[in-house]
Structure 1
C-alpha cells in the first residue's frame, strides 16, 4: 500500500489567527545565553510565589490524584461565592482566564456577530471572536491609554454580541473608572454581554474603581473574569473563574468540558482565596515597588504609563526591541511591546526589591552604552 501526501485542510479562519505567544521561560534564556541567574519580569507573576496555604492543600491531596477532579468544583465555587457574597450558581471555574474567554465565545457568538475589543489589550479576546467567526471591531484607547466611552458606544450595532473590557488593562495598567463603567453599562443595549476582565484588581489603589462584581449583583449582563495566576501566585496550575447571572453561567456550562480544572488546582485555589495574609503581602509589595520604579524611571529619563497593576509599560525608543534583547543578555526578561502595536515599549513586571534592583542596574548599563536614550 502506497501512502499519498495528506491533504487535510484546516478551517480558513486559522489563516487569520495568530496563536498567543507567551514570554520566554527562565530555563530557555539560561540555556540560550549560558546564564546562571535570570530574573523574569515578563509574565506578571507573583514574585513572592504561591500562597503557603495553597501549597499545603496540594501536599495533602497528592496521594489522591488517581481520582478525577470534582467536575462541578463545588468547594471552590462555594469559597468564591462566599468571598464575593454571590450564589455558587453564579460562578464558573475554568482552566485559567483564557479558557473562560474561549467558553464565552463558544456559548454566545454566532458567525457574523460582532465583538468590540479595546486596543491595545489582551489578544485572547480577539482570538475567541475570530475562532467563532465574529467580526472584530477594535476601539483604540486614547493617547494616554484611557477608555473612550463615547467611541465604544458609537461602535455598538445591532450585531454587537460581546464587549470586552480589561481593567486594569494589560499591557497599559490603566483602568476604566467605576463612574465611566456605570455610564457605559447604562447606555448599552441589554443584548450586549460585557466581559470585564479584572484579573489585576488586587493591585488597584484608585478609589474610583470597580472589579465588576457589584454590577453582577445588580443584574447587569456582565461576566467578570478573575484568575488565581496573579496575586494568589498559582499561574502554573491554571485556574480562574467567571462571575455572572445564573442564566449566563448555565449557557457557558453547556460548552464546558467536564474535568477542565485539575484536582490540585481546585484545592490550591480554595485555600489561596482564604489566605488573606498572602494577598495583602503580595499587593503591598507591588504598590511599594511600583512607586520606587516610577522614581527610578524618572531619574533615568524613561517615560512610563502610571499603572494600577503589577506591571509598568515603559517607553524606550525606536530601538526598544534591541534594548529588550540587551536586557535579556544581561539576565533580565521583560516583554517587548510589538505584539500590542507598541514597538517603542516594553512591559515590565514588578518583582521583588532584589529583582527590581537587578533590572535597574541592567537598564543603567544599557543607557550608558546608548547615551542617546537618556
Structure 2
C-alpha cells in the first residue's frame, strides 16, 4: 500500500507484534540534557538509570585497560573464563550458565526460544518494560496480571495469585522481577516458593534478579539460585550493570538447566558479549569488597533519602533496589521538568502506568543532597502534593 506521499508504506511489512510496540525509553543521558537546556555537564546529576555511583571495581578497570590491546581479536564466543568464574561462585557447572549482552539480551533470547504466535507470556502490571517488548516482538501474546493494591504491604508489586490465575495452556513463559523495577517492591521467599510449586512444569519461570545484591537482608527476601535443582523450569537472570557498576559494558548471565542453555544458544548471536565485558566482569567477581562498599552506601542512602522524602509528606514505596519509587502527585510531570531544568535527571513513570510517581536512583551522598535541595525548592513553589 502506498503512503500519502506515493511511497510504499513499510508499516504493512512489519509483523503485528512489533507494529504495536513502543520502543524502550532509557534514562535521559547527561549530554542530551546539557544540549537541550544549555547546562554544564559538570553540574548535572543523573539519578535515572539505577547505575552504581561508585563506578566499576578498580580491578575491573585495570583488566579492561589491559584487554583493549587485543581488541582486534574476536571475543571468546563461549565466554569460558567468565562462565567458569560464575560457576564457581554459584556452585554449578558452566554448562548451566549463559552469557548475555546485559540481562535484556537474555530476556529476549528466552522469548525468541520459547514464545511464538500461538503462545502467551505472563508478567505483572508495573513490571520491567522489556518483558512486553520481548514477548510481542516474538509474536506472542502478553498477558498482564493486575498488581497489588495500594494498601498492600508491597503496593504496586507482583500479585502472585493474580499471575497464577493468568496462566493458561498457551502460557510458555512467566516473567518475574525480584526485586521489581520500577516499583522497588519484592517477593517473600515463601510466597515465591509456593508460586513455583504451582506453575506447570511446561512453563519457563524467569526470575529477574538484576537488583539481588541490594535486597540481601530485607525481611522475607531470598535469592533463588539454590532452587535450580528443585524447579527444572526455573531460569534466573543476573546483571553486572547494577552493583558491579559495568552498565556501559553490557554483560549479564542466566542460570538454568544445561538443556535450556543449549536451546538458548541456538538463537544467541555469535560473540554477543564482547571481550572487554568478559574480562571486566571476571575481574569484578574477584573484588567482592567493591560490591560490599556499594551495598553499604546504598543501604545508608536508601534509609536517609527515604526519611528525607517522608519529611516532605511524600509516599515512598518499599524499596529493595538501588532506587526509590516516590509518589509526587498529579504534578509529577511538572516536577520532573523542574528537576531537569535544575540539572537533576530522574525517571518519570507514566510509561509504567504510574503517572503520579518518579523513580529516583540512589547516588552518592552529595548527589542525593543535590536532588533533595532541588526538590525542596520545588516544594516551596507548591508543586508537591501530600501523598503519605
Q: Taking structure 2 as the reference length, what is the TM-score of the superposition?
A: 0.93
* Structure 2 residue 27 is the aligned partner of structure 1 residue 15: no
**1:297-316 aligned within 5 A:** 297-316=309-328
Once the two structures are superposed, the pairs formed by residues 172-183 of structure 1 within 5 Å of their partners are: 172-183=183-194
Q: Are residues 1:112 and 2:123 paired? A: no
1:50 pairs, out of 48, 56, 64, with 56
Query: Structure 1 CA distance, aligned partners of 2:284 and 2:309?
Result: 33
Is the 8 Å Cα contact of residues 328 and 356 (structure 2) preserved in structure 1? yes
Aligned-pair distance for 1:112? 1.4
The alpha carbon displacement at 1:371 in A equals 6.2
User: Do 2:157 and 2:183's aligned partners in 1 also have CA atoms closer than 8 Å?
Assistant: no
Where does residue 92 of structure 2 map in the other structure?
A: 86
Contact 1:86 1:217 in 2 (8 A): no
SS at match of 2:50: coil
Partner SS state of residue 254, structure 1: helix
Match of 2:147 in 1: 141
Task: Write the distance in 1 (CA, Å) between the matches of 2:187 and 2:229.
Answer: 19
Q: 1:342-361 alignment to 2 at 5 Å?
A: 342-361=354-373
Rounded Cα–Cα distance in structure 2 between residues aligned with 1:130 and 1:373: 37
Partner of 1:73: 79
From 367, 371, 378, the counterpart of 1:366 = 378
- Local SS of the residue matching 1:259: coil
**Aligned counterparts of 1:261 and 1:313: Cα–Cα separation in 2:** 31
2:29 alignment partner, one of 25, 30, 34: 25
Aligned to 2:272: 260
- The Cα shift of 1:35 comes to 1.5
- What does the per-residue CA deviation read over 1:145-174, in whole Å, with 9 as the maximum and x for residues that have no partner? 233222121111111100110000001111
Q: Does 1:152 align with 2:163?
A: yes
Using the alignment, how far apart are the partners of 1:73 and 1:87 within structure 2? 14
Distance 1:147 1:371, change over 3 A: closer
Quote the RMSD (CA, aligned, Å): 1.3
Please report how far the alpha carbon of residue 220 of structure 1 lies from its aligned counterpart in structure 2 after TM superposition: 3.0
Alignment correspondent of 1:291:
303
Q: Which residues of structure 2 form unaligned runs of 5+?
A: 1-5, 150-154
Per the alignment, in what secondary structure is the counterpart of residue 248 of structure 2? helix
**Hey, what's the Cα distance between the residues in 2 that align with 1:90 and 1:228?**
18
Deviation (angstroms), 1:7: 5.2
Q: In the aligned structure 1, how far is the partner of 2:160 from the partner of 2:238?
A: 23
How many Å separate the matches in 1 of 2:265 and 2:383?
Answer: 56
> Which digits, 9 at most, give the CA deviation of each residue in 1:161-198, with x for residues without a partner?
00110000001111111101110011111111000000
Q: What do residues 32-52 of structure 1 show as CA deviations (whole Å, max 9, x unaligned)?
A: 112221000000000001111
TM-score under structure 1 normalisation? Answer: 0.97
Cα distance between partner residues in 2 of 1:252 and 1:212: 21
Structure-2 separation of matches of 1:110 and 1:334: 35
Change (3 A) 1:52 1:190: same
Could you tell me how far 1:207 is from its partner in structure 2? 4.2
Counterpart secondary structure, 1:169: coil
How far apart, in 1, do the equivalents of 2:384 and 2:177 lie?
Answer: 35
Cα separation, partners in 2 of 1:267 and 1:372, compared to 1, 3 Å: closer
SS of structure 2 residue aligned to 1:58: helix
Whether 1:63 and 2:75 are equivalent positions in the alignment is no
Taking the aligned partners of 1:6 and 1:303, their CA distance within structure 2 comes to 50
Q: Distance in 2 between matches of 1:357 and 1:309?
A: 19
**Residues 1:275 and 2:279 aligned together:** no
| Deviations 1:92-120 (CA, angstroms, capped at 9, x unpaired) | 00000111011111111121111101110
Equivalent of residue 259 in structure 2, options 236, 247, 251:
247
Matched residue count: 371
